[in-house]
Structure 1
Amino acid sequence: MASRTARLLLRMTKLKTPLLSLFLAAVALSQNGCSSLFFFPDKTTYITPDRLNLTYENIYLDTADGETLHGWWLPAENDALGTVYFLHGNAQNISSHLLNVAWLPAEGYNVFTIDYRGYGNSTGAPDIEGTLHDSETGLRWLTNQQNTENTPIFLLGQSLGGALGLTLASEWVQRSEMPELKGVILDGTFSGFRGIAREKLNSFWLTWPIQAPLSWTIPGDYEGVDMIANISPVPVMIIHSVRDGIIPFHHGQALYEAAAEPKEFLQTDTPHAATFIIPAYRDAVLEFLKAE
């Protein structure tokens, strides 16, 4: 997230004066909305589940505002112990994030994952409000499927997907929606949209002077630290790496401190969104799933 933003703004430094560069950077971010810092979709299909010997089904969902979302349904290899609804991070699309959940069907869990608007084969262009709507659209489809009846449903979100999932889970619980979520797992998630935007703008010299006004273009209604306690009594597992170079470790700590019981913290030691390359971390997540 930080590196692509930096490249965008660095191109502006070739202009004749620093003041002009700064002005144009501010205009570009203001017109697009600071929320554009969060979304880097593409349309490339990097891998499909069959290449990993996984059975799958293409799912297409229509949103209330006229977009069509593409997703994959991956059934458990044996009798399903539950279903994991996976919300991926901010770059590329579901095909580049597939390996994060490809191990779950063999462990007895169905997986459902979607691409937000503008990602992969989904239509439209992403923004915060739209992707929040998309995440709820996917969950509503999932909870209405016969093959998920009488088994628990879990939400797993990584990075941006964790921020979307946190908001979705909070609202789902507060509205007493059915079926109930049995657990929420947040991996490498930032503590708030506005907070991480200001932090990233602060880290780059060209946007440092305008970090405050630009970050205020992001709605303050979706700060994870303000919402995560509302997920209780649904159990929450927060995963964060001490080596996360994209979303610093203190974001995971802040979310854990703000969460209400029951909660669990898994400190890891991998690059950002690389948690599940380590078998021990997979086992910890499986223990969380089986305990609920």
Structure 2
Amino acid sequence: MVTILLLTVLLAFLARWRVSRLFYYPDHVSYGTPADLGLKYEEVTFPSRDGTRLTGWFVPAVGPAHGTVIHFHGNAQNMSAHLGFVDWLPAAGFNLFVFDYRGYGKSAGRPDRCGLYEDSLAAIDYVRGRKDLDRNRLVVLGQSLGGAQAIVAVGGGDRSGIRGVAVESAFFSYREIVRDKIGEIPLLSLLKTPLARLLTDDDLSPAAAVGKIAPIPILLIYGTADPVIPYAHGTRLFAMAREPKQFWTIDGGDHTEAFAETDSPHRLRLIAFFREVLGVHKGD
């Protein structure tokens, strides 16, 4: 009996470790640089809150800058693979800062939940500390896992200078997304709630932080056909967010689809949102 109990506990701990690893799919492949797109850029290194060395790219605006966008990318590959979601922002008059969490790309370390939180805080600190930009004109864009990081970092960290937050396809909480994924497995779906509680916790989840972002405006963006993060995660986060807040529904939209195509109307909508929260007037 004792042996069975010990094996059960061991399996539970192994399962928790396995589930936590499923949130991160980093690689170290270079998929290109801003220079490949004709953009000037600076490759930078900066320390995370615990000293882990992180890497990023600072891309200056084409012409005078309205402000600076800090991009939190999704969970797969590294920042070079996600550049296409945001490479159009410098031409729209925004400085752009993209960075890799620990274990992604050239950043040191291995990814874990607490580490990514510290990395996210450090990225905002780094941008805020640059002397060549206005530290009081910052906006944040997070997608998928990066959206969750953005919510938690802004909601739980130093918000000075941040004028707006846009989040696409972020999950409501760690436990809820694990519950949803277990629910997709026929033999385990009836046990999805107790299994989710066993396999993970909700520390540093967006649900606990989204209500703390106000009075900074927040924009949430979700596709109704997202196979990765169910649309309901967005509506639940929106319900917990405080004004000022906006919610965009992308009818038939897939995961992080809003800004993927060059002719997407949502790119212009995002530019308008950033200009509004920064107080940029027509003609500026």
Q: TM-score range, shorter-chain basis?
A: 0.7 to 0.9
3-state DSSP of counterpart to 1:220: coil
3-state DSSP of counterpart to 1:148: coil
What amino acid is the match of 2:246? Answer: E
TM-score where L is the length of structure 1: 0.85
Select the residue among 157, 162, 181 that pairs with 1:200: 181
Select the residue among 265, 273, 283 that pairs with 1:280: 265
Partner of 1:19: none
3-state DSSP of counterpart to 1:281: helix
In the TM superposition, residue 151 of structure 1 has moved relative to its aligned partner by 5.2
In the TM superposition, residue 26 of structure 1 has moved relative to its aligned partner by 5.5
Q: How does 1:201-280 map to 2 (within 5 A)?
A: 201-205=182-186, 208=189, 209=191, 212-268=194-250, 269-276=252-259, 277=261, 278-280=263-265
**1:94-122 deviation line (CA, Å, top 9, x unaligned):** 01100011000000001111100110111
In the TM superposition, residue 217 of structure 1 has moved relative to its aligned partner by 4.5
3-state DSSP of counterpart to 1:225: helix
In the TM superposition, residue 231 of structure 1 has moved relative to its aligned partner by 0.5
Select the residue among 176, 191, 194 that pairs with 2:172: 191
Is the contact between residue 240 and residue 266 of structure 1 (CA under 8 Å) also seen in structure 2?
A: yes
Select the residue among 43, 54, 64 that pairs with 1:58: 43
3-state DSSP of counterpart to 1:275: coil
Query: Could you tell me how far apart the structure 2 residues matched to 1:122 and 1:150 are?
Result: 24
The more displaced of 103-112 and 187-196 is 187-196
Q: Compute the RMSD of aligned alpha carbons.
A: 2.2
In the TM superposition, residue 35 of structure 1 has moved relative to its aligned partner by 1.7
Query: Could you tell me how far apart the structure 2 residues matched to 1:202 and 1:24 are?
Result: 23
Is the contact between residue 180 and residue 192 of structure 2 (CA under 8 Å) also seen in structure 1?
A: no
In the TM superposition, residue 215 of structure 1 has moved relative to its aligned partner by 4.1
TM-score where L is the length of structure 2: 0.87
Partner of 1:5: none
Is the contact between residue 117 and residue 124 of structure 1 (CA under 8 Å) also seen in structure 2?
A: yes
- Count of residue pairs the alignment pairs up: 266
For structure 2, which runs of at least 5 residues remain unmatched after alignment? Answer: 1-7, 278-284
Q: How does 1:8-19 map to 2 (within 5 A)?
A: none
Query: Could you tell me how far apart the structure 1 residues matched to 2:256 and 2:54 are?
Result: 23
Task: Quickly say closer, same or farther: Cα 1:207–1:26, change in 2 above 3 A.
Answer: farther
Partner of 1:99: 84
**1:68-104 deviation line (CA, Å, top 9, x unaligned):** 1111111101100010000000110001100011000
Task: Quickly say closer, same or farther: Cα 1:274–1:237, change in 2 above 3 A.
Answer: same
Task: Quickly say closer, same or farther: Cα 1:210–1:29, change in 2 above 3 A.
Answer: farther
What amino acid is the match of 2:214? Answer: S
The structure in which a higher percent of residues are helix is 1
Query: Could you tell me how far apart the structure 1 residues matched to 2:147 and 2:50 are?
Result: 23
Q: How does 1:140-219 map to 2 (within 5 A)?
A: 140-149=125-134, 152-172=137-157, 177=158, 179-205=160-186, 208=189, 209=191, 212-219=194-201
Is the contact between residue 86 and residue 156 of structure 1 (CA under 8 Å) also seen in structure 2?
A: yes
Query: Could you tell me how far apart the structure 1 residues matched to 2:122 and 2:199 are?
Result: 25
The more displaced of 154-163 and 33-42 is 33-42
